[in-house]
Structure 1
Amino acid sequence: MRYVVRSASPVDLNPIAALLAPEIAAGTVLPRGVRADEFLVAEAEDGALVGCVALAPWAAGVVELGALVAGMKGQGVGAALVRAALGRAEAEGYSAVVALTGAPGFFERQGFTPQAVAPHQLARARLRIARDEALDYKAKVCAACPRLGGCAQTLLAFPLHAELRACA
């Protein structure tokens, strides 16, 4: 099946929510609000959405890739969405993309690198891209999550500039 990756529009909000619902119920995607300006979608030739991914600011210069859902497993939809998200993040001037995921192998195949350090350490020491007021953003979000006790998410990073990738 053929598909195109594009920016989401307001008419995509309900179909995005429908794509996310079973993944949220299964615990593979965290619950989140759906805003068209944060999402990219994969649209099949018949107009049906077959995948989505969100990009949300994490800290100064860093954007988080989340809510990745590919309805057509093994068809390259997830990889295409990640490539498009990386391109969008770079075009918007971000220095790095991070992902918290239970499927680190997929992201490693896309060029992401697992991080053994906390998000604030990554931002301050390795990429030097965050300011102190932004460092604890994700920790606050995680602290409020009802799934925190059983969380097995891995932090991965993708520096968007060659000089940063050399340090990763």
Structure 2
Amino acid sequence: MITATPRPATLSPRALRSPGLPAFSVRPARPDDAAGLAALSRPFVRSGALRERTQAQYACQARDFLVAEAADGTLEGCLGLSVHHTDTPAGRPATGVLYSFCVAGHRQGCGVGARLLHAALARARSQSLRALFTATTGSGRLFLRHGFAPACPSTAPAAWAQSLDPRRNARVLACAL
């Protein structure tokens, strides 16, 4: 997973609309978004920032994703949130993992990533998750500005932490909710 390197700034709702770029909305993904999700992730896969997922995988995991959609229906960004119950003692809230966070190149630095992250945090809170984890090969600045901090992989859901490829040198970040 990689995060775009947005310009450091506090974004107001007005700032989310860049001059010359159409407005966008954030919504839950649908299985028919799979082709768009795969296309959106392709440049990040080529750069080594994201693991490759097939269109079929995106279709199966569509319910995990939030998408930023332009008025013409083009997907401008996406972010997956998976819920992990397996490491949670009975009666304790589950944890979540944010993954496949990508924003189209022409939209980076325009607030798309921030809006997606805000929506994912709201979704996690609505599901009463106790914490969110992510791994990034990028700077992680967007996450750090939104309450994430470096974390030990052993505190993350075990199956997810074990799936991290050490050759990618990703940093694990966490946010208590």
The residue that corresponds to 1:18 in the other structure is 39
Cα deviation, residue 11, structure 1: 1.5
Map 1:71-90 to 2 at 5 A: 71=104, 72-90=107-125
Q: Find 2:148's aligned residue among 112, 116, 134.
A: 112
2:161 and 2:99 mapped to 1: Cα distance? 16
**Alignment gaps of 5+ in structure 2:** 1-21, 89-93
Cα deviation, residue 19, structure 1: 0.4
Where does structure 1 differ by over 4 angstroms across 4 or more consecutive aligned residues? none
Please tell me whether residue 68 in structure 1 is matched to residue 101 in structure 2.
yes
After superposition, the C-alpha distances for 1:85-113 in whole angstroms (9 at most, x for unaligned) are 11111111211111100222221122211
Q: TM-score, normalised by structure 2?
A: 0.74
The CA RMSD over aligned residues, in Å, is 1.6
Cα deviation, residue 84, structure 1: 0.4
Q: How many residues align?
A: 141
Please tell me whether residue 49 in structure 1 is matched to residue 75 in structure 2.
yes
1:140 and 1:155 mapped to 2: Cα distance? 12
Q: TM-score, normalised by structure 1?
A: 0.77
**Alignment gaps of 5+ in structure 1:** 124-134, 161-168
Cα deviation, residue 140, structure 1: 3.2
What residue identity is the alignment partner of 1:67?
S
Please tell me whether residue 97 in structure 1 is matched to residue 132 in structure 2.
yes
Q: Find 2:169's aligned residue among 146, 152, 159.
A: 152
Report the identity percentage.
34
2:162 and 2:147 mapped to 1: Cα distance? 27
What residue identity is the alignment partner of 2:76?
V
1:13 and 1:54 mapped to 2: Cα distance? 12
